[in-house]
Structure 1
Amino acid sequence: MSKTAAPSWQARVEAAWLRRGPLAWALLPLSGLYATLALSRAWLFRLGLLRRERLPVPVIVVGNVIAGGAGKTPTTMAIVAHLLARGRRPAIVSRGYGRQSDHLALVTPASDAREVGDEPLLMALRTGVPVAVGADRVAAGRTVLAAHPEVDVIVCDDGLQHLRLCRDIEVLVFDERGAGNGWWLPAGPLRDSARRRADLVLYNASAPSTPRPGWLAQRALRGALPLAAWGSGGGTPRPLEAFAGRPVLAVAGVAHPERFFRMLEAAGLRLERRPLPDHHDYQQGLPWDGWDGDVVLVTEKDAVKLRSAGDPRIWVVALDFMPDPGFYAALDSVLSRRLHD
Structure 2
Amino acid sequence: MDLNTRGLVNYLLLPISGIFYVLSKIRRTLYRTGFFRINQFEVPVVVVGNITVGGSGKTPVVIKLVEYLQQQDMKVGVVSRGYGGSHDSGSLLVEVNTKASLSGDEPLLIAAQTDAIVMINKNRSQAVQDLISQHQVDVVISDDGLQHYAMDRTVEIAVIDGNRRFGNGFFLPAGPLRESQSRLKQVDFIINNGYMSPGEISAQLMPTTFTHLLSGDEFPLNHFSAQYCHGVAGIGHPDRFFNTLTEFGLQVEKHAFTDHYQYRSDDLEFNDNHPIIMTAKDWVKCRDFANDQMYYLKVDLDISKDFLNELYTKL
2:247 and 2:20 map into 1 onto residues whose CA distance is: 40
The equivalent position to 1:198 in structure 2, one of 180, 187, 204, is 187
Flag the 1:286–1:55 CA change in 2: closer, same or farther, 3 A.
farther
Q: What letter corresponds to residue 69 of structure 2 in structure 1?
A: L
Structure-2 change in CA distance of 1:82 and 1:29 (3 Å): same
Deviations 1:273-329 (A, max 9, x none): 11110111113x332323414200011111111111142100111121121223213
- 1:66 and 2:52 matched: yes
2:208 to 203, 210, 222: 222
* Alignment match of 1:245 (pick from 226, 232, 253): 226
| Aligned-partner Cα distance in 2 for 1:317–1:258 | 14
For residue 124 of structure 1, give the secondary structure of its aligned residue in structure 2.
helix
Give the one of 88, 94, 109 matched to 2:74: 88
Q: Find 1:269's aligned residue among 225, 250, 274.
A: 250
Q: Is the 8 A contact 1:249 1:293 kept in 2?
A: no
What CA distance in whole angstroms lies between the structure 2 residues aligned with 1:322 and 1:286? 35
Name the amino acid aligned to 1:225: T
Question: Deviations 1:33-91 (Å, cap 9, x if unpaired)?
Answer: 11111111001101111100012100000000011010111111111111111221111
CA contact (8 A) 2:214 2:291 kept: no
Q: Would you say how many aligned residue pairs link Structure 1 and Structure 2?
A: 311
User: Is 1:240–1:264's contact at 8 Å kept on the other side of the alignment?
Assistant: no
Q: Which amino acid aligns with 2:74?
A: R
Question: What amino acid sits opposite 1:333 in the alignment?
Answer: T
Between 1:306-315 and 1:131-140, the stretch displaced more is 306-315
Which residue of the partner structure matches residue 289 of structure 1?
Answer: 269
Q: SS at the partner of 2:199? A: coil
After superposition, give the CA deviation of every residue in 1:246-286 in whole Å (9 maximum; x if it has no partner). 22000001111111111111111110111110111113x33
Please report the RMSD computed on the Cα atoms of aligned residues, expressed in angstroms: 1.8
Secondary structure at 2:195's aligned position in 1?
Answer: coil
Alignment of 1:316-335 (within 5 A): 316-335=296-315
Q: TM-score, normalised by structure 2?
A: 0.94
Question: 2:135 is matched with which residue?
Answer: 148
Q: Which moved more, 1:158-167 or 1:215-224?
A: 215-224
TM-score (norm 1): 0.87
| Runs of at least 5 residues in structure 1 that lack an aligned partner in the other structure | 1-8, 336-341
For the residues of structure 1 that align with 2:301 and 2:271, how far apart are their CA atoms?
31
In structure 1, the residue matched to 2:261 is: 280
Output the CA distance in 1 between the equivalents of 2:149 and 2:93.
Answer: 22
Q: Percent identity?
A: 35
The letter for the 1-side match of 2:190 is V
> Unpaired segments of 5 or more residues in structure 2?
none
Superposed structure 1 runs of 4+ greater than 4 Å apart = none
What does 1:1-341 align with in structure 2 at a 5 Å threshold? 21-103=7-89, 104-149=91-136, 151-175=137-161, 176-196=163-183, 197-208=186-197, 213-230=199-216, 235=217, 237-283=218-264, 285-335=265-315
SS at match of 2:223: helix
Work out the CA distance in 1 between the residues paired with 2:248 and 2:63.
24
**C-alpha distance in structure 1 between counterparts of 2:233 and 2:30, whole Å:** 40
Which secondary structure does the structure 2 equivalent of 1:243 belong to? coil
Q: How far apart in 1 are the matches of 2:80 and 2:290?
A: 30
